Amino acid sequence: MRKTMTSIILAAALGCSALALAAPGGQGGNFGGGPHHGFHGGGLFALHGLNLTDAQKASVKQITQQSFSQLKPQFQAVRQQRAAFEALSPSSSGYQAAAASLAQAEANLTSARITARAAVTAQIYNTVLTSAQQTQLATQKAAFEARKAQWQQFKAQHPVSSGTSSAQ
């Protein structure tokens, strides 16, 4: 029981540290979740630790808002198409065609969103960050990946049992 509790506490602590690192700190913008959700996967989420100047923060905000505004009509169109599809009855004659059309629209939006995210990240990296900040960002990313690998190793060594047992 004590070993299980220690494992749970350690797992929670490691999980929280990963979440704390990924906290956006009000920087960047996530195309699907609003302006206060950072990008993930080595993108903008780590900018909060780089001590950006006010001018750099303004540039980041401008770049992300411009990119979002370019995609906003596509987001709205897909949202409307999704609502129209959800309003259909599965017995409707055009149900399957509407599903296929929505799936294609969602795929196109996902492709555009990922491409735009990469362009924003590259633009900020290449035009806003100093070389020292770029180095610091690379260091932060490497540290995050090391903690992530540690967490994966811990999970592999301490699998969660699927059955329930009585605590004694």
> pLDDT tens for residues 62-116?
999 999 999 999 999 999 999 999 999 999 999 999 999 999 999 999 999 999 9
Average pLDDT, the chain: 78
Q: Which of 60, 51, 52, 58 is nearest to 29 (CA)?
A: 60
Q: Pull the structure tokens for residue 144.
A: 């995050």
Q: Are 84 and 97 in contact (CB under 8 A)?
A: no
Alpha-carbon gap, residue 116 to 134, rounded angstroms: 20
Alpha-carbon gap, residue 25 to 91, rounded angstroms: 47
**pLDDT given for residue 1 in this prediction:** 47
Q: Please state the rounded mean pLDDT for residues 151-165.
A: 82
- Asked if residue 150 has pLDDT above 70, the reply is yes
**pLDDT given for residue 47 in this prediction:** 80
Q: How confident is the model at residue 168 (pLDDT cuts 50, 70, 90)?
A: low
- Asked if residue 31 has pLDDT above 70, the reply is no
What residues does each domain of the chain span? 2-157
Task: Name the CA dihedral angle for 115, 108, 19, 55, rounded to a multiple of 10 degrees.
Answer: 40
**pLDDT given for residue 167 in this prediction:** 52
Q: Which residue has the higher pLDDT, 8 or 62?
A: 62
pTM > 0.85: yes or no: no
**pLDDT given for residue 163 in this prediction:** 60
Q: How confident is the model at residue 160 (pLDDT cuts 50, 70, 90)?
A: confident
**pLDDT given for residue 161 in this prediction:** 76
SS3 of 94, please? coil
Q: Pull the structure tokens for residue 91.
A: 């017995």
